[in-house]
Amino acid sequence: MALRLRPLHATFGAEVVGVDFAREVDPATLAEIEAAWYHYSILLFRGVAWTPAQHVAFTRRLGPLHIMEPLEFNLPGYPEVLVVSNVEKDNKPIGMKRAGWGWHSDGEDKVLPNAGSFIHALKLPPADGDTLYADTYAAFAALPEDVRRKIMGRRACFSRARFHEVYYPHLPPLTDAQKKARPDVWHPIARRHPNSGWTALYIGRWAYKIDGMADGAAQELIDYLKDFATRPEFVYRHQWRAGDALLWDNRCAQHCATPFDDAKYQRLMQRTTIEGETPLMAEREVLRPDVALV
């Protein structure tokens, strides 16, 4: 079948219409979905009513799955499914609360950052709790020429140990063993996508140093790049509906969860995560062509 796509934003993102996840997606349709994902960075599927097993099975067809830690927030019986929720059972959280507040891409602080994430909304508050997505292909292309020249060939340091308590104050501090297992990592700021070949701006909340630059100058540039990447013209705001399933590419898009009244309302989402590869340095600028959705 030829996919039907509806634009979500002027530069990226598409809603995929007509895919029935109640049945196994045929290879030709899967190939179209994968090609659309590489082109549009985020794909939305409405009205999805699959089981966790179906969620895992479909995502695995896009790549090997990553098991998130800490393991206590994964769905019992399905370690590949991260539960994102403020719901409690027997006075114990069933999932990770307030996950993703602050602009980032999943796994950017790991040696092998996550390639993609696929989240399914099951229960939502009556208002708020939207998720913002930023097009970092478009952000890279729009950078002033002198800034693009400055970041080409450079890497930034991403640190879980340095920022864990800043971004997750409601979680226990990292143990020495956890810090040892998540050492600081260096990734290219101008990143080449392994499938599209296009160049994306790769920066996020875990970054704090740049190779070859003094700390003060590096932090100033990082702050500029983080602000630039999330300018309104690059951002799509997703207002969730129950049954939405949203697939995004962490190599060329950032996201940010927004707050809701989690003392009053419940929210339940389940996410699978695709393993990534060593981030590729962009050896030259390759910009995504501006092709309109049809």
Q: What is the pLDDT of residues 204-213, one digit of tens each?
A: 999 999 999 9
Q: Are 275 and 114 in contact (CB under 8 A)?
A: yes
If you average pLDDT over residues 24-51, what whole number do you get? 97
The span from the CA of 50 to the CA of 202, in Å, is 32
- Confidence at residue 293, expressed as pLDDT on a 0 to 100 scale: 35
In a domain, residue 105? The reply is: yes
Whether the per-residue pLDDT at 68 is higher than 50: the answer is yes
Instruction: With a cut of 80, say whether residue 13 has pLDDT above it.
Output: yes
Phi, psi of 237 (to 5 degrees): -105, 120
Distance CA 216, CA 202 (A): 20
Number of compact structural domains in the chain: 1
Supply the Cα-derived Rg of the chain in whole angstroms. Answer: 19
Residue 158's domain comprises 4-276
pLDDT tens for 138-197 read 999 999 999 999 999 999 999 988 888 777 777 788 888 888 888 999 999 999 999 999
pLDDT confidence of 291, banded at 50, 70, 90?
very low
C-beta of residue 244 within 8 angstroms of C-beta of residue 44? yes
Tally of CB atoms within 10 A around 286: 17
Report if residue 107 sits inside a domain.
yes
Residue 282 lies in a domain: no
Q: What pLDDT does residue 120 have?
A: 98
Q: Is 174 inside any structural domain?
A: yes
Task: Summarize the confidence of residues 111-128 as an average pLDDT.
Answer: 97
Residues 241 and 243: their CA atoms lie apart, in Å, by: 6
Q: How high is the mean pLDDT of the chain?
A: 94
Q: Is pLDDT above 50 for 292?
A: no
Q: What is the mean pLDDT of residues 96-115?
A: 91
Residue 252 lies in a domain: yes
Q: What CATH number has the domain bearing residue 207?
A: 3.60.130.10
Q: How far is CA 244 from CA 45, 182, 269, in A?
A: 6, 32, 10
Q: Is residue 294 situated within a structural domain?
A: no
Between CA 268 and CA 124 the distance in angstroms is 7
How far is Cα 25 from Cα 15, in angstroms, rounded to an integer? 17
Asked if pLDDT for residue 56 goes beyond 60, the answer is yes
**Structural domain contains residue 126:** yes
Residue 291 included in any domain:
no
CB-count exposure of residue 162 (10 Å: 0-12, 13-18, 19+): middle
